[in-house]
Amino acid sequence: MWFDRIVIVLLAAAAGMAILVTVGIVLSLIFETIQFFGKVPLSNFLFGLEWSPQTAIRADQVGSGGSFGILPLINGTLLISAIAMIVATPLGLTSAVYLSEYSSKSARAWIKPGLEILAGIPTVVYGFFAALTLAPFIRMTGNQMGLEVASESALAAGIVMGIMIVPLISSLSDDVINSVPQSLRDASLGMGATQSETIRRVVLPAALPGISGSLLLAASRAIGETMIVLMAAGMAAKLTLNPLDAVTTITVQIVALLTGDQEFDSAKTLSAFALGLFLFGITLCINVVALHIVRKYQEQYD
Q: Smallest Cα–Cα separation from 221: which of 162, 154, 278?
A: 162
List the beta bridge partners of residue 67.
Answer: 52
For another protein (CB under 8 A), the number of binding residues is: 86
> Min. distance of Cβ 210 from another protein in angstroms?
15
3-state secondary structure at position 54: coil
Binding pattern to another protein, positions 270-299, x when CB under 8 A?
Answer: --xx--x--xx--xx--xx--x--------
Residue 259 near another protein by CB under 8 A? yes
Q: Phi then psi for 181, rounded to 5 degrees?
A: -60, 140
Separation between Cα atoms, residue 122 and residue 263, nearest integer Å: 31
Nearer to another protein, 97 or 267 (CB): 97
Tell which one of 84, 131, 155, 246 touches another protein (CB under 8 A): 131
Report the residue from 202, 251, 268, 271 that binds another protein according to the rule CB under 8 A.
Answer: 251
235 counts as binding another protein under rule CB under 8 A: no
Note whether 10 binds another protein by CB under 8 A. yes
Burial of 65 (0-12, 13-18, 19+ CB in 10 A): middle
**Can you tell me the distance from the alpha carbon of 150 to that of 154, in angstroms, rounded to the nearest whole number?**
9
* 165-204 binders of another protein (CB under 8 A): 166-167, 192, 194-197, 199-200
Buried b (16+ CB within 10 A) or exposed e, 15-36: eeeeeeeeeeeeeebeebbebb
Say if CB 108 and CB 99 are below 8 A apart. Answer: yes
> What does each C-alpha distance from 75 to 79, 216, 242 come to in angstroms?
6, 18, 11
Q: Which H/E stretch holds residue 51?
A: strand 51-52
Q: Which residues pair with 68 in a beta bridge?
A: 51
Among 163, 206, 211, 293, binds another protein (CB under 8 A): 163
Interface positions, 56-75, toward another protein (CB under 8 A): none
Q: 19-58: which residues touch another protein (CB under 8 A)? A: 19, 21-22, 24-25, 28-29, 31-32
Nearest CB to another protein, comparing residues 4 and 299: 4
Stretch of 65-73, 77-85, 121-129, 150-158 lying at the interface with another protein (CB under 8 A): 121-129
Looking at 155, 223, 237, 246, which residue binds another protein (CB under 8 A)? 223
Q: Which is nearer to another protein, 56 or 255 (CB)?
A: 255
Decide: is 99 part of the binding site for another protein (CB under 8 A). Answer: yes
49 vs 191 by CB, closer to another protein: 191
